[in-house]
Amino acid sequence: MPAVTGPVLRAAVLGHPVGHSLSPVLHAAAHETLGLRAEYTRRDVTEREWGAFWSAARASGGWSGFSVTMPLKPLAARDADETTPLVRALGAANTLTRRADGSVVAANTDVMGIMSALTVAGQVPGAPSAVVLGGGATAGAAVAALHGLGAPAVDVVVRSPERARSLHRVADAVGTTVRVRPWSQAAALLGTADVAVVTLPPRGADELAEQWDALRPSVGGVLLDVAYDPWPSRIAASWQRAGGAIAPGVDMLIFQAVDQVRWFVNGEPTAALPGEDHVTAAMCRAVQRPERGVPARVRGAQAALLAP
């Protein structure tokens, strides 16, 4: 382990609620492995409190970066001085980094987290048939991630078409196509998917899992459920029984945090951390997940997704 030297890296995870967040555990493991002096905490901030919190944080200048979770991701994107192409496409940021001149850049590492979690879980074809369940902010990141993995189009299954309206703008921005499908088609679409991402709240697909089980499906692809408690979720367990590979939301959390640490330490997302494989392995161990690195395929897709 490197000697613990240099200035203190001060960061926190922001959102409401954040008491359950594993981000402090992941970032602490990374900081220890890198030999950094660091303080990483949780700050429960509601949408109503955001304005006052952000003004005070900007004025203090005493922080290095923030991890941002819901419901603050759109506000973080709106109030940063600079935004990456992915943030502009998604309208949401999960990472805020303070530069040396005091300006703030907003980034989105959720897309890298989704691509990595899917790719390490199982075989994803070069041009996969792709399905997303749900139409919220995380669904936008899933659309971009599936495009990054080569999906020619993405079927988005929602209970209300209005929920997916913004996803057409996301698809246009990243260069793909979204097909909004009614919830009644969810089971049939899952049965033909090479890759699926569930972006619903915990237990939001329980009823669908029961319906899908009744069809006795057979699949060979990969499903990521971004919710990580309970795990496996009922829909993930159903997918696994049907022959597919599954990825928990905690894997997405690990891999998106790797790029957050890149932002906080390097000030940009493309340069690897010193000993990054060891850093990622430590983060995996910290939340009792198998030690795996970010796949080369994902790093290859990253350049295109981050291009202006």
- With tokens 């941002």, the residue in question is 68
Peptide bond into 17 cis (omega under 30): yes
Annotated catalytic residue within 73, 98, 262, 292: 73
Tell me the β-bridge partners of 269.
none
Peptide bond into 201 cis (omega under 30): no
Q: Are 144 and 168 in contact (CB under 8 A)?
A: no
Q: Are 227 and 70 in contact (CB under 8 A)?
A: no
Query: Does the annotation count 73 as an active-site position?
Result: yes
Q: Which own/partner pairs from 208-213 qualify as long-range (CB within 8 Å, at least 24 positions apart)?
A: 208/133, 208/235, 209/233, 209/234, 209/235, 209/237, 209/238, 210/234, 211/187, 212/187, 212/238, 212/242, 213/238, 213/241
- Which residues does the annotation mark as catalytic? 73
